C-alpha cells in the first residue's frame, strides 16, 4: 500500500458520477493518489437532478428500475428506510454519503471541466482546463454515456414543440403539456415512464407512444419480489435455456404484450434491454396510451406512422437514446460511431495502456455492481498487481466478446453496450487471475 500523504497524484479521473466515485474509492483503498475532475458544482452525474452541468437525464418523478440491494456499494449498505425502488433523490443522497464515508471529497475538483485531453509524445496525458494545464501518467474516463441525446431523422417537418427525453423534467417543464396531444417516441424505460406519467387523466389530452420493435414489458415485482431477484442469470446454465425459462415465467405471470394492446415484439425475451414498468401495461390496457408503430413522416401539425395512420400532435418527446461521445478527445483519436466502442473487457483501448474507460455499458441488472468490478480491476492494474496481455491478445478478445454480443442481443445502436453483469464478472475474474500471473512473471 502506498502512503498517499507522500505521493503526488499520477492518475486523473474525469467525472464524479457513479463510475468516478467507484474508481476513486478503490484507488484510495489501495493508497493510490489521484485527482478527480468534475464539470459540475455537485457530484452524482446523471443522478443529480437538474445538474448544473446540464448532463443529467433525471426527471422529477424518476425512480430507478433496479432494487436497492442490487445498487449497494461494498461496505456501505443503503439505509433501511429507503424504498425498494429508489427515487433519484435517494440515489443522490446515497452517493453523497459514500463520498463522505470513504473520504473521497478532497480528491474531487468541482467546476473543472476538461476541455481537451491529449496524449503527448512521451505518453503522458495533458489535460487542458479553463484555468491552466495539468499532466498525468494515467487517465480514467468516467463521464458516462447518457448525456448526449440521439435524435431520429424523420422526413418532413414538425410545427409543434419537440424535446428529447434528456430535457424532460415534468408535465410543465420545459414544456406545458397539460391538455396537449403528445407523442412519445421510444419504448425504453424513460419513454414508458414519461408516457405513463403524462397519460394520467387531467394531464395530456391524448398520449401516443410510437415504437419500432415493440418490447417485452416486465413489472418491477413478480411473486411479491423485485423482478431482478426473481429472474437472475446463472453463469452455469446456458443462456438460451435461462431465456426460455424467463420468457415462460413472464408469459405465465404477466401475459403477452399483445394482450394489453402493445405490438408483438420482433425479438425474444432478454435479447434486448428489458423495459421495466408496473404502469405501462395498465395504461395501455385502460386506453390511456395509444400505441403506434414507427413514425414515417412529420407533417406540420400531424404525424404519419408506417401503418398509414395519422395523428394530430402538439408536442413530441423523443426518448431515442444517446450517443457515446468524448468532447475532450479529437474524433480521429477516440470515437464511437454507431455507439460501437471496442475496448478490452470494456475498459482498455489496445495500444494505449494508460487510458481506461469505466461504466461504458448498459449493464443488467445493475450498473453500480458492474462499475465496482471494473474499478477494482483497474485499481489492481494501476497498483501493479495486474498486467495486461499483448495488443494482439486484447484485439482477439474484443472480437470474441463482440461475437458473443451479436449472438445474445438484437443488433441496434442501443444494444452495442448491453452486458449481463453476472457473466461479465465471471469472465473478468478469469482475466484478473491471468493478469496476476503475468505481473508476477514480469516482477
Q: What is the pLDDT along the chain (443 residues), one digit of tens a residue?
A: 333 344 568 999 999 999 999 999 999 999 999 999 999 999 999 999 999 999 999 999 999 999 999 999 999 999 999 999 999 999 999 999 999 999 999 999 999 999 999 999 999 999 999 999 999 999 999 999 989 999 999 999 999 999 999 999 999 999 999 999 999 999 999 999 999 999 999 999 999 999 998 888 888 998 899 988 888 788 888 877 877 887 888 788 888 889 898 988 877 776 677 789 989 999 999 999 999 999 999 999 999 999 999 999 999 999 999 999 999 998 778 877 788 889 999 999 999 999 999 999 888 888 999 999 999 999 999 999 999 999 999 999 999 988 876 666 666 555 567 888 888 999 999 999 999 999 999 97
Per the listing, cell 445493475 goes with 366
List C-alpha distances in Å: 347 to 23, 77, 93, 350, 376: 12, 26, 28, 10, 12
Domain spans of the chain, in order of start = 4-147+322-442, 152-318
221-222 and 225-226: which strand pairing? Answer: antiparallel
Kindly provide the residue ranges of all beta strands, DSSP E only, lying in 72-215, ordered along the sequence. Answer: 108-109, 116-119, 125-129, 132-136, 138-141, 148-149, 156-158, 161-164, 181-185, 206-210
DSSP track, 258-312: GGGTPPPPSS-TTSS--EE-SSHHHHHHTTSSEEE--EEEEEETEEEETTS-EEE
Is 152-318 the same fold as 4-147+322-442?
yes
Q: Is the dihedral of CA 423, 428, 434, 437 positive or negative?
A: negative
Q: What is the largest CA-CA distance in the chain?
A: 70
To 10 degrees, what angle do helices 18-29 and 88-101 make?
Answer: 20
Q: Three-state SS for 418?
A: strand
Under DSSP, the state recorded for 213 is: S
The Cα 116–Cα 257 span in angstroms is 47
Phi, psi of 157 (to 5 degrees): -140, 155
Instruction: Round to the nearest angstrom and report the end-to-end CA distance of the chain.
Output: 17
Superfamily name and number for 152-318: FAD/NAD(P)-binding domain (3.50.50.60)
Under DSSP, the state recorded for 413 is: G
Closest CA to 217 of 182, 240, 251: 251
429: CB partners within 8 A, 6+ apart: none
> 302-305 long-range contacts, Cβ below 8 Å, gap at least 24?
303/158, 303/183, 303/208, 303/210, 305/210
pTM summary value: 0.92
Q: Say yes or no: domain 4-147+322-442 is CATH 3.50.50.60.
A: yes
- Reading the block at residue 170, the C-alpha cell is 415534468
List C-alpha distances in Å: 132 to 107, 142, 220, 436: 18, 21, 48, 38
Amino acid at each position: 500500500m502506498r502512503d498517499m500523504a507522500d505521493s503526488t497524484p499520477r492518475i486523473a479521473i474525469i467525472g464524479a458520477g457513479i463510475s468516478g466515485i467507484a474508481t476513486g474509492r478503490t484507488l484510495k483503498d489501495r493508497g493510490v493518489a489521484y485527482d478527480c475532475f468534475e464539470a459540475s458544482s455537485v457530484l452524482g452525474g446523471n443522478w443529480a437532478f437538474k445538474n448544473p452541468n446540464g448532463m443529467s437525464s433525471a426527471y422529477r418523478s424518476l425512480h430507478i428500475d433496479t432494487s436497492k440491494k442490487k445498487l449497494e456499494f461494498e461496505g456501505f449498505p443503503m439505509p433501511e428506510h429507503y424504498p425498494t425502488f429508489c427515487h433519484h433523490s435517494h440515489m443522490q443522497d446515497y452517493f453523497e454519503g459514500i463520498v463522505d464515508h470513504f473520504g473521497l471529497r478532497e480528491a474531487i475538483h468541482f467546476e473543472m471541466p476538461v476541455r481537451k485531453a491529449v496524449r503527448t509524445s512521451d505518453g503522458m496525458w495533458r489535460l487542458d482546463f479553463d484555468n491552466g494545464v495539468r499532466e498525468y501518467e494515467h487517465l480514467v474516463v468516467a463521464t458516462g454515456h447518457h448525456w448526449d441525446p440521439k435524435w431520429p431523422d424523420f422526413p418532413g417537418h414538425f410545427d409543434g414543440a419537440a424535446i428529447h427525453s434528456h430535457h424532460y423534467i415534468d408535465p410543465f417543464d420545459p414544456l406545458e403539456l397539460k391538455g396537449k396531444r403528445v407523442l412519445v417516441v421510444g419504448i425504453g424505460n424513460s419513454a414508458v415512464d414519461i408516457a405513463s406519467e403524462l397519460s394520467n387523466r387531467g394531464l395530456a389530452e391524448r398520449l401516443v407512444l410510437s415504437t419500432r420493435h415493440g418490447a417485452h414489458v416486465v413489472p418491477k415485482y413478480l411473486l411479491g419480489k423485485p423482478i431482478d431477484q426473481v429472474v437472475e442469470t446463472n453463469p452455469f446454465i446456458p443462456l438460451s435455456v435461462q431465456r426460455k425459462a424467463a420468457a415462460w415465467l413472464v408469459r405465465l405471470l404477466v401475459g403477452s404484450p399483445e394482450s394489453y394492446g402493445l405490438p408483438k415484439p420482433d425479438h425474444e425475451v432478454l435479447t434486448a434491454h428489458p423495459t421495466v414498468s408496473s404502469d405501462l401495461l395498465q395504461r395501455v390496457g385502460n386506453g390511456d396510451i395509444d400505441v403506434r408503430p414507427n413514425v414515417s413522416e412529420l407533417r406540420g401539425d400531424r404525424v404519419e406512422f408506417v401503418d398509414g395512420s395519422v395523428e394530430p400532435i402538439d408536442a413530441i418527446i423523443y426518448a431515442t437514446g444517446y450517443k457515446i461521445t468524448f468532447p475532450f478527445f479529437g474524433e480521429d483519436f477516440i470515437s464511437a460511431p454507431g455507439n460501437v466502442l471496442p475496448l478490452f473487457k470494456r475498459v482498455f483501448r489496445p495500444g494505449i495502456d494508460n487510458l481506461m474507460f469505466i461504466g461504458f455499458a448498459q449493464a443488467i441488472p445493475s450498473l453500480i455492481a458492474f462499475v465496482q468490478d471494473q474499478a477494482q480491476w483497474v485499481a489492481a492494474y494501476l497498483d501493479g498487481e495486474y498486467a495486461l496481455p499483448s495488443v494482439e491478445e486484447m484485439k482477439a478478445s474484443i472480437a470474441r466478446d463482440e461475437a458473443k454480443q451479436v449472438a445474445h442481443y438484437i443488433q441496434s445502436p442501443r444494444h452495442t453496450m448491453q452486458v449481463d453483469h453476472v457473466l461479465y464478472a465471471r469472465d473478468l475474474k478469469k482475466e484478473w487471475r491471468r493478469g496476476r500471473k503475468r505481473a508476477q512473471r514480469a516482477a
